[in-house]
Amino acid sequence: MNKNNPSKNWLFNWLSSLSLGLMLMAVSNTTLANDLQPIIDDKQLALSVDVKSESIAPKQQVLVEVEISSTQPFEDAMVMPYLDLKNAVVKKDDQQVARSARMLDGQKWYTQTAKLYIYPLTAGTFVIPSFDVAVVLDNDKENPLKGTVSSEETTFNVEMPATLDATNEFVSGTDAAFTLKTDKPISDAFEVGEAVVLTYQLKVKNSHMMLLPDVNVPDIAGVEVYQKPVAKENIFDRLSKRNTAVLNQAVTVVFQESGKLVIPSQSIQWWDTETNELKTLTTDPLEFQVGSSSALLQAHNYLEDITGLASKYGVYLIGLLVFVGLVITVVMKRKGKPSTQEKTPAKIDVGVKIKQYQSAVEDQRFAEAVDHLYLIAGNRTFADRLDSESATIWKQLLSYSFANSDNKQPLTQQQAQILLSAVTSKELSSTPEGFDWRLNP
């Protein structure tokens, strides 16, 4: 009968082999999973989770130590699984797992310790769920003991301090600094069309870059602002074994008007986890002098100094002040003409500058094209001469002069001519009006 049904015999043999293989695999997995269970039951292998931080506030770093201990040595280093906590950021320690051995009640124990850093975002009760860690033990046999050990569920509480109730944006850490720097000294003399790069930097120790708020760049009148993408990073100090979250925000400012320009101060709230106090980090305001206002400011400062001396010493300085005033008057009269000539700017060949401007646009040297336009306009602002189309081209040209070379798009000669026509449509005299002493002989 078997000879008459060979296909049925083959199917029966295949199903029997498959069932036997599945049974062996099940038995093998059960044996593997239970290799460590007797040691765990005898309390010779344990996995513990310990929250080290106390008085925890939102966004404060919480240190968690995970330790696995056994009476038999480990063959491999412990590997922490990924943990996901709601409303929290979890970061593994960048250091290697620490191994050690110690004697306890006459028994030698082998331990491995790993660290986790948890940053809770809100107040409340947080639960570290139970997790499994794979373990391989050297039991002085050819086949080591393999399996997993589980941790217990661990909770910790986060409380919102009263001083933080009304604060929406803040950072939390053991130390923090907020600064504003420039790529050029602020004491330099700036002209219309020049640019300076402002860099806001925020550093917070024992924090995470995901918790750093973005810097709100203030609106500044009289400038064009080009904000670069914010850069955030974590910097780990191997000596202090601390993580520092760093934010850098760079902003390019192009001066469009002469006068005094003030970059206002910016503030960020900081919760000091060492003193449990709310503090304020504030940048220093920056002041720039653009164009002729610098000389006026200096004259104003001199006048204030003289007034202060006069009020301090009274009538004793009246004679000296009168004498100094006469000397200054005589000197100004004698050198009035040369001084006027020195302050009169040299005449510019507009035709040559127009050709240089067109050549710079054609060769995509946009920064030079911007300089030539300011010279064509007589070193004056010309925003009031631009219509909507030419203003758009002007902003495009300015952005190209500060953009990465890989991102620049060609500016057509037609666009360049439209902008040039708008700039020269209401051309002003390049020679400023001045006072002539001969008008009053």
φ, ψ dihedrals at 355, nearest 5°? -65, -40
User: The whole model's pTM is what?
Assistant: 0.58
Instruction: Give yes or no for residue 168 having a pLDDT over 50.
Output: yes
CA distance 53 to 65: 10
Confidence label for 413 from pLDDT (cuts 50, 70 and 90)? confident
Angle (CA) 405-409-415 rounded to 5° is: 130
CA distance 417 to 414: 5
pLDDT computed for residue 127 by the predictor: 94
pLDDT computed for residue 30 by the predictor: 43
Coil/strand/helix, residue 124: strand
HEC-encoded secondary structure of 136-195: EECCCCCCCEEEEEECCCEEEEECCCHHHCCCCCEEEECCEEEEEEECCCCCCCECCCCE
Confidence label for 295 from pLDDT (cuts 50, 70 and 90)? very low
Structure tokens that stand for 135 in this block? 């373990």
Instruction: Determine contact, residues 112/97, Cβ cutoff 8 Å.
Output: yes
pLDDT tens track for 194-241: 999 999 999 999 999 999 999 988 888 888 999 999 999 999 887 777
Instruction: Give yes or no for residue 147 having a pLDDT over 50.
Output: yes
How far separated are the first and last CA of the chain, in Å rounded? 143
Instruction: Give yes or no for residue 438 having a pLDDT over 50.
Output: no
CA distance 204 to 175: 6
